[in-house]
Amino acid sequence: MTRLALAALAAAVLPTFAAPAQAADYRVGGVEIRHPWTRPAKAGMNGVGYLTLVNVGAKPVKLLMVQSPAARSVTLHQTSQADGVASMRPVTDGLKIAPGASVAFAPGGYHLMLMGLTRAQAPGGKVPLTLVFDGGRRIRIELAVESGAANADPMAGMHHDH
């Protein structure tokens, strides 16, 4: 192929790969859910879920709970550091997101605890979740099972016993 043909091919193909990174993976009303993922885990163990919630609407929204047939229960948690010690606590009153704001569920911060997995989470698989927001809004999403760096989460060793 000539350079011109390669450049034309690259120009045609590149937007296909770039577009999904800029768009939300899921959307309900004014809430976007971006890059929902989890790590591999064995059945019977606990798993963890990560994603980013973005309020693109004009009113505050509140994530009340998360449900999944893939786990006995799903709870919102937050990891924090105090005096060099990491601790994890449940978020019991939901999570409010102001208009124009976002909340990242990421290693070392907010995360979803998938307690008592009903099946193994293997790389390349999907884990179904339902996010329940105030006003009765619900959205079904899937966490993509991805291999993540174990040392990226200071609480990684605690998730199995939590």
3-state SS, residue 50:
strand
**Residues 86-132: tens digit of each pLDDT:** 889 999 999 999 999 999 999 999 999 999 999 999 999 999 999 99
Higher per-residue confidence, 17 vs 25: 25
Length of the chain: 162
What's the pLDDT at 82? 86
- Segment 148-159 shows an average pLDDT of 46
Is residue 31 a contact partner of residue 56, using CB atoms and an 8 Å limit?
yes
Going along the chain from its start, the domains and CATH numbers come out as 24-152 (2.60.40.1890)
pLDDT value of position 77: 96
